Amino acid sequence: NAGVTQTPKFQVLKTGQSMTLQCAQDMNHEYMSWYRQDPGMGLRLIHYSVGAGITDQGEVPNGYNVSRSTTEDFPLRLLSAAPSQTSVYFCASSGPLGETQYFGPGTRLLVL
């Protein structure tokens, strides 16, 4: 049981490049979400999903896309990276009632 896994651990991008941050969970959780963590701002919700095929926007969705084709995977896409997207990104999952969320180890992204 690996819990929530994220890849890559660290990534450097140039402005305008695209990339996908991967997130997977093996707990059969319905609810998954993406957060970004910035100093002094806590964690802010980017996008979330309440089940396969269903996604919705969080507090800071601009510049990010998500999809949920399977229960296990919830990738986050940056179509055209900007320096403002330099951050640490955390994926999380929880059971059907959205109770305790379990977090992945994070992806540290630097956009130059």
Binding site for other proteins (CB under 8 A): 31, 33, 35, 40-45, 48, 50, 58-59, 90, 92, 94, 97-106
At closest approach, how far in Å is the CB of 106 from other proteins? 5
- Tokens representing 46 are 């980017």
**20/101 with CB nearer other proteins:** 101
**17/95 with CB nearer other proteins:** 95
At closest approach, how far in Å is the CB of 39 from other proteins? 9
- Tokens representing 87 are 């951050």
At closest approach, how far in Å is the CB of 15 from other proteins? 27
Task: Label each residue of 53-108 as H, E or C.
Answer: CEEEECCCCCCEEECCCCCCECCEEECCCCHHHCEEEEEEEECCCCCCCEECCCEE
**For residue 103, which amino acid is it?**
F
**14/100 with CB nearer other proteins:** 100
